[in-house]
Amino acid sequence: MSDRRAVGITEGRIEFPDVTDFADPLLVVKDLHTSFRTGRGTVHAVDGVSLSVDRGTTLGVVGESGSGKTVLARSIMGLLPVRDVIRSGTVEFTGHEMTTMAPAQLRQVWGAQMSMIFQDPMTALNPVVRIGNQITDSLRLHLEIDRKEANATAVELLRSVGIPSPEQRIRWYPFQLSGGMRQRVMIAIALACAPRLVLADEPTTGLDVSVQAQILDLLQAMQRERHMAVILVTHDLGVVAKRADEIAVMYAGRIVEKAPTRTLFAHTRMPYTRALMNSIPRLADPSGTRLHAIAGRPPDLIHPPEGCRFAPRCPYVQDKCRESDPPLRTAASSDHVFACWFPLVDGAPPPADGPVASVPGTSPS
């Protein structure tokens, strides 16, 4: 069985323009909805997300656990289970509509044009396959090169992601590598076929804090070298603060604020964004300072609350917030959008310490 036949790319081949040949943006997502049918009801995991990514730029997607970040990334890829999923909206990649693609066409996009870096390098590498083979598999699949050439490329890739003695290590198994090393291998695999867009789904969550920065720096260096676009999904604003060109803050399946990084930090409008910023502990704080947690939990996505979804946890909540849902609107600069009835003003005092007393199940500190 030749590899080429196994790929199933005999028909419906898609032509992708060269990276310099098409106009920005690289990826346009419009009004994307993804819901899962469960025993308890329909979970609206992604609820009307629109965004776009230009060539070679980084979009940070930030939010708590359960805010729909991972589902968003997988919806963009088209990597959703077949059963019990309802999806709508469009995902246009280099002008090609992804949501209507046949599986064989998607396989042409995956790996070669768009690839994903997973959260946990412990489970995302096949434990019983040598790392070299895991890299060469996709090389041989997409680039149609022979084993020898693929091996040489794999060695170069491992070297470029900072793995010492790659000639020997391509014969190693994942368990013989540390977590940081495995994530480097994951990056090498994801970048093997020079994709234009990489979705990194919390690429550093499973790693030691000391290794996190190295991995992010590596990703950024590879991005610059190859002029890739990156969607960096994380729950940590600190991670994207220095690395993203633009940040989208997600809450309960929606984008609640999106702006270029500098604008977002300088002119925060949405209280949730502010709360996320405040929840990053500061080394300068005196010892014994309470950590600023966001009180309460993200809402139930089967029965989302009326009005603003952040209202039950918002320190500035007003009656209007509980009654009607704020639409996304544009701030002072046109590339800054937010969804809030009573946006913060620049230089306003930070929200009162501790949660609001009305949040059930918590008490003010």
Element (H, E) at 268: none
Using CB under 8 A, which residues numbered 63 to 82 contact another protein?
77, 79
Residue 320 CA to residue 310 CA, distance in Å, equals 12
**Residue 39 or 164 with smaller CB distance to another protein:** 164
Using CB under 8 A, which residues numbered 209 to 268 contact another protein?
210-211, 214, 217-218, 220-222, 224-225
Rg of the chain over all Cα atoms, to the nearest angstrom: 22
Q: Is 34 in the site for another protein (CB under 8 A)?
A: no
Q: Is 33 in the site for another protein (CB under 8 A)?
A: no
Encoded one letter per residue, x for contact with another protein by CB under 8 A and - for no contact, window 288-317 reads ------------------------------
Answer for the pair 343, 269: CB distance below 8 angstroms, yes or no: yes
Smallest separation (angstroms) from another protein to the CB of 363: 39
Number of residues counted as binding another protein (CB under 8 A): 64
Sequence-ordered list of residues with C-beta below 8 angstroms from that of 161, at least 6 positions apart, any chain: 184, 185, 187, 188, 191, 218, 222
Kind of pairing between the strands at 42-53 and 27-37: antiparallel
**Residue 179 or 315 with smaller CB distance to another protein:** 179
Closest alpha carbon to 100 in 111, 108, 110, 89:
89
Residue 6 CA to residue 290 CA, distance in Å, equals 57
CA 150-154-158 angle, to 5 degrees, is 175
Q: Is 8 in the site for another protein (CB under 8 A)?
A: yes
Place of tokens 């009801």: 41
Smallest separation (angstroms) from another protein to the CB of 345: 38
**Residue 175 or 364 with smaller CB distance to another protein:** 175
**Residue 56 or 305 with smaller CB distance to another protein:** 56
Smallest separation (angstroms) from another protein to the CB of 53: 17
Q: Is 157 in the site for another protein (CB under 8 A)?
A: no
Smallest separation (angstroms) from another protein to the CB of 273: 28
Closest alpha carbon to 191 in 214, 160, 150, 162:
160
Residue 111 CA to residue 91 CA, distance in Å, equals 17
From 24-32, 128-136, 254-262, 308-316, give the range in contact with another protein by CB under 8 A: 128-136
DSSP state of 108: H
Q: Is 205 in the site for another protein (CB under 8 A)?
A: no
Answer for the pair 85, 249: CB distance below 8 angstroms, yes or no: no
User: Which residues bind to another protein, rule: CB under 8 A?
Assistant: 6-8, 77, 79, 107-112, 115-116, 118, 120, 122-130, 137-138, 141-142, 159-160, 162-165, 168-169, 171-181, 184, 186, 189-190, 192-193, 208, 210-211, 214, 217-218, 220-222, 224-225
